Each structure stands twice: as C-alpha cells, then as structure tokens.
Amino acid sequence: MPFNVTGFPAISICTGFGVGGLPVAMQLAGKPFAEPLLFQAAHAYETAMPWRDRRPPMAG
C-alpha cells in the first residue's frame, strides 16, 4: 500500500511455495519511473528459478 500512495513503482513475484503448496512472494520497489528496471529484475529472477512453471493445485 505505501507504494500506491507515494506513486513509486512496485511489483510482486512468486518466490516459491510454502506450507500446503501455497505460493510465497516478494515485492520489489523502485524509484519513480523505474518500471522497466523492475520488469527486467522480475523477469530475470523468474526465468532463473527452476519452479517457475509449477502451479498450485486448484481446489475443486
């Protein structure tokens, strides 16, 4: 929420899976108008992780 109020860009990305297979995330934040850098950092992290194609099971 602080980033929404200040206008600073932020992005949340999945960092793995925790208890019960639920996704866990981290948030990256940057300086004003640094959206391209945040997208590049998030993309680099996600492509480097071996679990990036895994999805949590759907409740049915």
pLDDT digits (tens, 9 = 90+) for 14-38: 888 888 878 899 999 999 999 999 9
- pTM passes above 0.85: no
Residue 60 lies in a domain: no
Closest CA to 28 of 47, 45, 10: 10
Domain count, the chain: 1
Residue 58 lies in a domain: no
Residue 53 lies in a domain: no
**Which pLDDT belongs to residue 29?**
94
Residue 55 lies in a domain: no
Residue 38 lies in a domain: yes
Residue 10 lies in a domain: yes
Residue 21 lies in a domain: yes
What does the alpha-carbon distance between residue 53 and residue 39 come to, in Å, rounded to a whole number? 18
Q: What's the whole-number average pLDDT of the chain?
A: 86
> Which percentage of the chain shows pLDDT scores above 70?
88
Per the structure, the complete domain to which residue 8 belongs is given by 2-48
